[in-house]
A and B are shown apart, each in its own frame.
Chain A
Amino acid sequence: DSGVTQTPKHLITATGQRVTLRCSPRSGDLSVYWYQQSLDQGLQFLIHYYNGEERAKGNILERFSAQQFPDLHSELNLSSLELGDSALYFCASRGAGGLQFFGPGTRLTVL
């Protein structure tokens, strides 16, 4: 158990819909990173928040957005979903030594 929690574990939805994925970092970690893993693209960095502020953006689509709340949990919002958005979505928090600890992931299926 990494200490990073993600909900839900699985999500099945239809094209055009909007979903919200939730992540809580390890106790004491201020950072949250979101990653997407798909068969086509592999593991890709989406976005990074530190103590409520956006710090870096990766290959995140405009239809996707995220935020980090004062209690440090983060939400990744995916809208106007397409079939190609089906993937595993991970969040991770970074500890003092530079290690990133990953949550169990949310498997999104868009039908």
Chain B
Amino acid sequence: SQQGEEDPQALSIQEGENATMNCSYKTSINNLQWYRQNSGRGLVHLILIRSNEREKHSGRLRVTLDTSKKSSSLLITASRAADTASYFCATDAANSGYALNFGKGTSLLVTP
């Protein structure tokens, strides 16, 4: 069963705008990771945030984690057409061998 639920399912913005995607999960986690997938291709790791961290930055990406609400958000600032992709959050836990539990993803479309 899937742990995470992303919100929104789809997001359409213009270049230069910020995109925010949210993820909720159900059980205790070790880490939460965000991945990107271009249409039908492989998953690219974006950022990992540990359960004892609250915020992390990487370039134009900002991830927050609220373990009390079991939620995370991914912010992409100054979006570009090349950011068009599906974005997934995934959680892992020690009691499942750190296997990733993925959400259904947010489909982001950035138009020029």
What string of 1s and 0s marks CB contacts (under 8 Å) between A70-111 and chain B? Answer: 000000000000000000101010100111111111010000
Q: Which chain B positions have C-beta within 8 A of A44?
A: 2, 102
The 0/1 profile, CB within 8 Å of A marked 1, for residues 71-107 of chain B is 0000000000000000010101000111111111100
Stretch at the interface among B10-18, B20-28, B36-44, B59-67: B36-44
Chain B: interface residue count, which band? 20 to 34
> Are the C-beta atoms of A104 and B97 separated by less than 8 Å?
no
**A-B contact number at CB 8 A:** 67
Instruction: For A56, give its contact among B31, B88, B96, B105 (CB under 8 Å).
Output: B96
Given contacts A2-B42, A50-B97, A94-B98, 11 further A-B contacts (CB under 8 A): A2-B44, A33-B100, A42-B103, A43-B88, A43-B105, A45-B99, A48-B99, A99-B48, A100-B100, A102-B43, A104-B41
Please list the residues of chain B having a beta carbon within 8 angstroms of any beta carbon in chain A. 1-2, 30-31, 33, 35, 40-45, 48, 50, 88, 90, 92, 96-105
